[in-house]
């Protein structure tokens, strides 16, 4: 079983749609959680951290459920520029970031 | 304020040759991390270095791979006798805080894409 699992997608949605991605992690000792965005053939960039209480940044909302070891990302009012791969990232007990394989999002006009 | 600089951006090698990838951290950052991304996969941790010290190389293959971060100059990831399976994107990241700091935020470079023919 992978340490961080994501649905690879692709999720193909029209502009303006709301889309949600899920991620599960296997290590209950995980301490920090993040969503990164990676454009094709580019480096990953931090989108947002994920906190237990849930957090929002503009059109993006992240949720964490420690009991279920589950993380989610909700994107409202999708834009064409949101097309990218979204990486679920977990950090536990050390400096290593454990990356999921990513969920690909395609936003069409 | 330049970010993390990696070069070369693209490198083509034939099987058996050596590949050297360089990473200059952000100004003021003394912690460097190397990750590898195989096609259609997530990034995998390889090694964590501070100046002149390897802190954790648990993600490095036991053979053919080595990394250094000298007192002066960039960090180097060296792959000897490359094989086709080494073809991947190699990303370097740097941070200003110690790796085990909860507030540690990594900044990634644009990556070096190695193709082994």
pLDDT tens-place string over residues B12-70 = 999 999 999 999 999 888 889 999 999 888 899 999 999 889 999 999 999 999 999 99
Residues of A within 8 A of B48 (CB-CB) are 95-96
Q: In which band, very low, low, confident or very high, does the pLDDT at B104 lie, cut at 50, 70 and 90?
A: low
| Interface probe with B: pick from A4, A87, A97, most Cβ of B within 10 Å | A97
Q: Which of B62, B17, B103, B23 is nearest to A95 (CA)?
A: B103
Q: Report the length, in residues, of chain B.
A: 117
Q: What pLDDT is stored for residue A5 in this prediction?
A: 94
Of all residues in chain A, the one with the smallest CA distance to B97 is A95
Chain B: closest CA distance from residue A32 (Å): 8
Q: In which band, very low, low, confident or very high, does the pLDDT at B1 lie, cut at 50, 70 and 90?
A: low
Of all residues in chain B, the one with the smallest CA distance to A43 is B110
Q: What's the rounded Cα separation, in Å, for the pair B42 and B11?
A: 21
pLDDT over 60 (residue B101): no
pLDDT tens-place string over residues A44-102 = 999 999 988 889 999 999 999 999 999 999 999 999 999 999 999 998 756 788 999 99
By the CB < 8 Å criterion, does A1 face chain B? no
Q: What's the rounded Cα separation, in Å, for the pair A37 and B57?
A: 26
Q: What's the rounded Cα separation, in Å, for the pair B40 and B10?
A: 18
Q: Which of B13, B27, B15, B25 is nearest to B91 (CA)?
A: B25
């Amino acid at each position: 079983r992978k340490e961080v699992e994501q649905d690879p997608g692709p999720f193909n949605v029209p502009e303006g749609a709301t889309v949600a991605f899920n991620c599960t992690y296997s290590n209950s000792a995980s301490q920090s959680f993040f969503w990164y965005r990676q454009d094709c053939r580019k480096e990953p960039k931090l989108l947002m951290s994920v906190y237990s209480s849930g957090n929002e940044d503009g059109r993006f909302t992240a949720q964490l459920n420690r009991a279920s070891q589950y993380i989610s990302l909700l994107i409202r009012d999708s834009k064409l520029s949101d097309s990218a791969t979204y990486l679920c990232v977990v950090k536990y007990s050390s400096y290593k970031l454990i990356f999921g394989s990513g969920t690909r999002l395609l936003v069409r006009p | 304020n330049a970010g993390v600089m990696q070069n070369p951006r693209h490198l083509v090698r034939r099987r058996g040759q050596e590949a050297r990838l360089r990473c200059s951290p952000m100004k003021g950052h003394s912690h460097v991390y190397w990750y590898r991304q195989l096609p259609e996969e997530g990034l995998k941790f390889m090694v964590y270095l501070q100046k002149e010290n390897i802190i954790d190389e648990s993600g490095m293959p036991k053979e053919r791979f080595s990394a250094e971060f000298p007192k002066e100059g960039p960090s180097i990831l060296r792959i000897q006798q490359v094989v086709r399976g080494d073809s991947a994107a190699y990303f370097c990241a740097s941070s200003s805080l110690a790796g085990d700091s909860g507030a540690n935020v990594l900044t990634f470079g644009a990556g070096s894409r190695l193709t082994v023919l």
